[in-house]
A = this chain, B = another copy of it.
Amino acid sequence: MSDPFMQAAIEEAKKGLAEGGIPIGSVLVHRGVIIGRGHNRRVQSGSVVLHGEMDALENAGRQSANVYRESVLYTTLSPCAMCSGTILLYGIPQVVIGENKTFVGEEQWLTQRGVELTVLQDPTCVALMRDFIDANPTLWNEDIGE
């Protein structure tokens, strides 16, 4: 398989699914080392702010601006407005996205603000979300405010 950091994000997504949650995972990578990993916690913790990306950042803990500016965020799904805003707040310069076929977040806003995006269209990421949304449309809509 391909990128080991995307694989780690996918592991997080699968962990979330196994817990009965929404299968979106993320890892924050600083100079080639994972410093935070996480997955969506809506179901597991009743959280409305811990999307996968937010959970990875929260688990990375308090970091200086320099660390964020040398980091890459990997996420299995295109980041929503909340997660995109957080990427901009902390000045994370690069985001690798598993897929944007099932949901397109604020990619345009990120690109306009100079964030470098790479979309892998990873078939595992697509299948995880497609199957989940088919089976749990109401829960998915809640997660994206619809």
| Distance of A46 Cα from B84 Cα, bound (Å) | 21
| Range of interface residues on A (Cβ < 8 Å) | 20 to 34
Report if A134 contacts B (CB, 8 A). no
Which among A15-23, A55-63, A94-102, A125-133 touches the partner chain?
A: A55-63
Is A2 engaged at the interface, CB distance under 8 Å to the other chain? no
The closest CB in chain B to the CB of A43 belongs to B62
Closest chain B residue to A85, Cβ basis:
B85
Q: Is residue A81 contacting chain B, with contact meaning CB distance below 8 A?
A: yes
Interface residues of A in 34-87 (CB under 8 A from B): 42, 46-50, 54, 57-58, 60-65, 68, 80-86
* Pair A145/B85 contact, Cβ less than 8 Å: no
Give the complex CA separation of A72 and B129 in angstroms: 32
Q: Which of B85, B142, B146 contacts A81 (CB 8 A)?
A: B85
Asked whether, in the complex, the Cβ of A61 is within 8 Å of the Cβ of B49, the reply is no
Name A's B-contacting residues (CB within 8 A).
42, 46-50, 54, 57-58, 60-65, 68, 80-86, 88-91, 106, 109, 141-142, 144-146
